[in-house]
Structure 1
Amino acid sequence: MVLDSILASPHRRSPSFRKQFSRDDSLSWSTLLQRHRFLLTALVLLGFLCTIYLYFAVTLGATGSCSGLSGAQKALCRLEHAKDSVSKGKLKFL
């Protein structure tokens, strides 16, 4: 009984409440940007931090004993490192 009176109350079904969640208004890019500004900012920040992380992971992880070699010598050196890594239980290709 009390639940019925709460659901039927005029405050629950006010026009402003309906207008807030209505699908009638056209969804434009500016509306989407306003509604999701925080999420978009967090996504941009996360992308920037991941880019920095990958840059340092690639540049700092590339230093090894094969860096001065070229051609077939470099390929053989990398193959030896791959064999050593697999035999030790680590899987690292670079």
Structure 2
Amino acid sequence: MVIDGVINSPHRRPQTAFSSPSFRKLSKSDELGNFSTVVRRHQFLLTALALLAFLCTVYLYFAVTLGEDDSCSGLTGTQKALCHAQHVKQTVSKGKLKIL
């Protein structure tokens, strides 16, 4: 037996077309919100980005300050090329190849 019409239930709210807030047309400023709203919505991503930037800064600081000293820095031309070739030969003979 099929009942035509709407079944009324005490747990069901009546739905009217286009009455919910999702159907309302929002202006461009309402969609984006103000600055504090954007910060609150993306707080996790902004925190992760700040932490990543800090860690990269620390890594680069130590990579530059504790990096290998270049003994060929004062040389020019063929002398510099021979010095680099000599360093490469020494590292390959030790079994460790370090890419500069």
Q: What TM-score do the two structures reach when normalised by structure 2?
A: 0.52
Does the aligned pair in 1 maintain the 2:72–2:83 contact within 8 Å?
no
CA distance in 2, matches of 1:67, 1:37: 48
More helix by share: 1
Q: Where in structure 1 are there 5+ consecutive unaligned residues?
A: 1-8, 12-17
Task: Give the 5 Å matches for 1:68-79.
Answer: 69-72=74-77, 73-79=79-85
Q: Highest relative contact order (Cα 8 Å, sep 6+), 1 or 2?
A: 1
Q: How many residues align?
A: 78
CA distance in 1, matches of 2:54, 2:25: 34
Change (3 A) 1:89 1:10: farther
Structure 1 stretches of at least 4 aligned residues deviating more than 4 Å after TM superposition: none
Q: Where in structure 2 are there 5+ consecutive unaligned residues?
A: 1-10, 14-19
Identical amino acids, percent of aligned pairs: 45
Q: Which has the larger radius of gyration?
A: 2
Q: What TM-score do the two structures reach when normalised by structure 1?
A: 0.54
Is 1:46 the counterpart of 2:52? The answer is: yes
